[in-house]
Amino acid sequence: MLLISCPNCGSRDETEFHYGGQAHVPYPENPNDMNDREWAEFLFYRDNTKGTFAERWLHSTGCRQWFNMLRDTVTYDIQAVYPMGTPRPDVSVPAAAESGTASTAADSTTTGSAAPSTSATSISATSTASSTTAPEGATK
């Protein structure tokens, strides 16, 4: 079970949240200029990163606000929680690194255009107690 630190509400149980997919996927500037393949790739193609991954979360039974989270997809360690519209924080991966591809994801610039912004400015790196079970819905 993950203990997720909402930027607005503080630490809450994982069951209060919904996973919202990969973060920092900018909406195309000219969607009408895209062919069907490019549009489909924008809609459906996402990175499948092993290691630190930026993802969106919704505190659905709390403040109902979206926020971003850096989470390790292997260990489920939450490395940072930060408001929508702010750039991805530079979190150094803890020394437990495998010979992995931790931060090679194509992380384009942040736009935040499609997401409601929050006024919270706290960027807190929280780590939770070790979790041995995969959270339901967090691995889609």
Taking the C-alpha atoms of residue 120 and residue 130, their distance in angstroms, rounded to an integer, is 27
Closest listed residue to residue 72, CA positions, set 13, 16, 24, 2: 2
What are the residues binding Zn ion (CB under 5 A)? 6, 8-9, 59, 62-63
18/46 with CB nearer Zn ion: 18
Taking the C-alpha atoms of residue 49 and residue 7, their distance in angstroms, rounded to an integer, is 24
Closest listed residue to residue 57, CA positions, set 46, 71, 72: 71
9/25 with CB nearer Zn ion: 9
62/100 with CB nearer Zn ion: 62
Nearest-approach distance from CB 122 to Zn ion, in angstroms: 12
Nearest-approach distance from CB 80 to Zn ion, in angstroms: 16
Nearest-approach distance from CB 8 to Zn ion, in angstroms: 4
52/65 with CB nearer Zn ion: 65
Taking the C-alpha atoms of residue 120 and residue 99, their distance in angstroms, rounded to an integer, is 35
> H or E segment at 121?
none
Nearest-approach distance from CB 7 to Zn ion, in angstroms: 7
